[in-house]
Structure 1
Amino acid sequence: MHTRPADRRSQILRHACTLFARQGYGATTVRQIADAAQLLSGSLYHHFPSKEAMLLDILEEFFAGALHRHRATLAATDDPVVALRGLIRGSLTVIAENPDASIVVVAECRRLAQTERFRWLSERTARTSAMWRSVMEEGVRAGVLRADLRPETTAHLVQSTVWAMAQWYRGNGRYDPDEASGLLVDLFVRGIAKPGAYRSRALGPILGGAGPSRPAVGVDPDGYEAPRIRLARLLPDGADARMRIGYAAGLLFAQQGYTVTTTRQIAELAGVPVGSLAHHIGSKERLLAHMLTGFFQELLAAFDKDAAARPRPIRRVEGLIARTVDALAGHGVASVILLNERATEDVPQSELYRLLGAVEGVWTRALADGMRSGEFRADLDPAFVQRVLRTAISTSSGAYRGLGVHDVAGLYQEIALGGIGAR
Structure 2
Amino acid sequence: MNSEGENGRMRTHTRPVDRRSEILRHACALFARQGYGGTTVRQIAEAAKLLSGSLYHHFPSKEAILLDILEDFFAETLARHRSTLDGEKDPIAALRGLIRATLAVIVRNPEAAVVVVGECRRLALTERAQWLSERTARNTEVWHKVIAEGVRTGRLRADLEAETAAHVVQTAVWAMAQWYRAAGRYDPDEASHVLVDLFVHGVARPDAYRRRDMRAILGDTAVRLPAAPALVRRARPTEGADARVRIGHAAGLLFARQGYAVTTTRQIAELAGVPVGSLAHHIGSKERLLADMLAGFFQELLDGFDRDEAAGTRPRRRFEGLVARTVEGLAGHGVASVMLLNEASAEDVPTAELRRLLGAVEDVWTRVITDGMRDRDFRADLDPVFVQRVVRTAISTSSVAYPALPVPDVTALYQEIVLGGIGARPE
TM-score (normalizing by structure 2): 0.90
- Aligned match of 2:393: 391
Could you tell me which residue of structure 1 aligns to residue 367 of structure 2? 365
| TM superposition shift of 1:242 | 1.3
Q: Which structure 2 segments of 5+ residues have no match? A: 1-11
CA distance in 1, matches of 2:161, 2:402: 12
Which amino acid is the alignment partner of residue 276 of structure 2?
V
**Deviation of residue 240 (structure 1)?**
2.4
The match for 2:142 is: 131
CA–CA distance in structure 1, aligned partners of residues 395 and 340 of structure 2: 11
> Where in structure 2 are the equivalents of 1:271-286 lying within 5 Å?
271-286=273-288
Q: 1:38 aligns with which of 27, 49, 54?
A: 49
Structure 1 residues 326 and 56, CA, compared in 2 at 3 Å: closer, same or farther? Answer: closer
**Corresponding residue of 2:378:** 376
Residue in structure 2 matched with residue 267 of structure 1 by the alignment: 269
- The code of the aligned residue for 1:65 comes to E
Secondary structure of 2:347's partner? coil
What SS is found at the alignment partner of 1:327?
A: helix
Residues 212, 125 of structure 1: CA spacing in aligned structure 2 closer, same or farther, 3 A cutoff? farther
Q: Which residue, 330, 335, 349 being the options, matches 1:328? A: 330
Identity, in percent, stands at 71
User: 1:111-130: CA deviations, max 9, x gaps?
Assistant: 43666678433211111111
Query: In the alignment, is the contact (CA less than 8 A) between 1:103 and 1:166 conserved in 2?
Result: yes
* One-letter amino acid matched to 1:223: L
Q: 2:355 is matched with which residue?
A: 353
Task: Specify whether residues 211 and 103 from structure 1 end up closer, same or farther in structure 2 by C-alpha distance, changes over 3 A only.
Answer: farther
Structure 2 CA distance for aligned equivalents of residues 48 and 2 of structure 1:
27
Amino acid at match of 1:70: H
Match of 1:22 in 2: 33
Aligned to 1:160: 171
Task: Give the superposition deviation at 1:204.
Answer: 0.7
Q: For the structure 1 residues 116 and 58, does the alpha-carbon distance in structure 2 shift closer, same or farther, using more than 3 Å as the test?
A: same
Question: 1:175 aligned to 2:177?
Answer: no
Q: Among 56, 62, 71, which residue is 2:73 paired with?
A: 62
Match for 1:318 among 317, 320, 334?
Answer: 320
* Superposed displacement of residue 365, structure 1: 0.8
Among 254, 257, 260, the alignment partner of 2:256 is 254
- Taking the aligned partners of 2:387 and 2:194, their CA distance within structure 1 comes to 9
Tell me how far 1:212 sits from its aligned partner: 4.5
Q: Is this contact kept in 2: 1:34–1:40, CA < 8 A?
A: yes
Report the Cα offset of residue 145 of structure 1: 1.2
Indicate the residue corresponding to 2:85 in structure 1.
74
- For 1:67, give the aligned amino acid: L
Aligned-CA RMSD value: 2.4
Q: Does 1:219 align with 2:228?
A: yes
SS of corresponding position for 1:76: coil
Using a 3 Å threshold, how does the CA distance of structure 1 residues 26 and 377 change in structure 2: closer, same or farther? Answer: same
Q: Deviations over 1:73-110 (max 9, x none)?
A: 22231111111111111111111111111111111124
C-alpha distance in 1, partners of 2:367/2:251?
Answer: 34
- Partner residue of 1:11 out of 11, 17, 22: 22
Bigger CA radius of gyration: 2
Separation (CA, whole Å) in 2 of partners of 1:19 and 1:69: 26
CA distance in 2, matches of 1:392, 1:332: 15
| Match for residue 100 of structure 2 among 55, 78, 89 | 89
The verdict on how the C-alpha distance between 1:237 and 1:200 changes in structure 2, with shifts beyond 3 A counting, is: farther
Q: 1:338 to 1:388 in 2, by over 3 A?
A: farther
Amino acid aligned to 2:73: F
Equivalent residue number for residue 299 of structure 1:
301
Tell me the TM-score normalised to structure 1 length. Answer: 0.91
1:147 aligns with 2:158: yes
Kindly tell me: are residues 316 and 341 of structure 1, through their superposed partners in 2, closer, same or farther at Cα, counting changes over 3 Å? farther
CA apart distance, 1:238: 5.9
The alpha carbon displacement at 1:169 in A equals 1.1
Q: Report the 3-state secondary structure (helix = DSSP H, G, I; strand = E; otherwise coil) of the residue aligned with 2:160.
A: coil
Structure 1, 48-57 or 248-257: larger mean CA deviation:
48-57
Q: CA deviation at 1:403?
A: 3.2
Shift of 1:385: 0.4
Matched position secondary structure for 1:208: helix
Deviation of 1:5 (Å) = 4.0
Contact 1:89 1:178 in 2 (8 A): yes
The unaligned stretches of length 5 or more in structure 1 are 225-229
Aligned residues of 1:310 and 1:319 also touching (Cα < 8 A): no
Change beyond 3 A, Cα 1:259–1:197: same
Match of 2:202 among 188, 191, 203: 191
Aligned residue in 2 for 1:227:
none
Q: Does 1:408 align with 2:417?
A: no
TM-aligned CA deviation for residue 219 of structure 1: 2.2
Partner-residue secondary structure (3-state), 1:171: coil
CA contact (8 A) 2:298 2:357 kept: yes
The CA deviation string for residues 366-399 of structure 1, in whole angstroms up to 9 with x for no partner, is 1111112222111111111000110121122452
